[in-house]
Chains A and B, each alone.
Chain A
Amino acid sequence: DQQVKQNSPSLSVQEGRISILNCDYTNSMFDYFLWYKKYPAEGPTFLISISSIKDKNEDGRFTVFLNKSAKHLSLHIVPSQPGDSAVYFCAASATGNQFYFGTGTSLTVIP
């Protein structure tokens, strides 16, 4: 039972443009959401998070938007850079202890 879904396995974007990665969830009890970036042969690296009491959180080039009614969150990267090429995972939690991950979206930023 996949409670967190990333329906786009891959995404290609030109350098300098906006990258939008999407994530949907089914459990209305989730109240904390995170995005991780993963390079090959490395563990996931925390990128940005958002609590369910907010609908937007910004950190430099990265912004996460949360739409609770649609059970949808998205990660915007502006402007996209070649170093952003990686697999991006969204994760959600209801307790702060157990996190449910999506299957990931592989982002390629084309120079």
Chain B
Amino acid sequence: DAGVTQSPTHLIKTRGQQVTLRCSPKSGHDTVSWYQQALGQGPQFIFQYYEEEERQRGNFPDRFSGHQFPNYSSELNVNALLLGDSALYLCASSLDGAGGPYEQYFGPGTRLTVT
């Protein structure tokens, strides 16, 4: 049973460019959340996708957008990259409604460096 997978593992971009990160959820999961983890910090919630819609969003600008596909996989897009966007981007999947608040399973993350 494959867990949460993310691609690519590492990425280097230049300021002003755009980036797309990808996530495949754990088998049987239908909800995907994205987090940004800056160095020395805890993960910060970006947004969550369920039924191909953004269900909840954290305190991130519109430069951060996402998408969920019918197979539940998801993409995170960041436009007009800033140096401060350099971080580890984590994807977490879960099963909606599984007995109330549910545990999220995290992928290994994508390390984005903006130069």
Binding site for B on A (CB under 8 A): 4, 6, 31-32, 34, 36, 41-46, 49, 51, 89, 91, 93, 95-104
CB distance from A29 to the nearest CB of B (A): 13
A1 closest partner in B (C-beta) = B59
A32 touches B108 (CB 8 A): no
Q: Is the interface of B mostly helix, strand, loop or mixed?
A: loop
Residues on the B chain within 8 Å of A93, using CB: 101
Residues on the A chain within 8 Å of B35, using CB: 101
| Interface presence of B87 (CB below 8 A) | no
CB distance from A32 to the nearest CB of B (A): 4
What are 10 A-B interface contacts by the 8 Å CB criterion?
A: A31-B101, A36-B106, A41-B108, A42-B108, A43-B109, A44-B90, A89-B42, A97-B48, A98-B58, A103-B42
B102 touches A96 (CB 8 A): yes
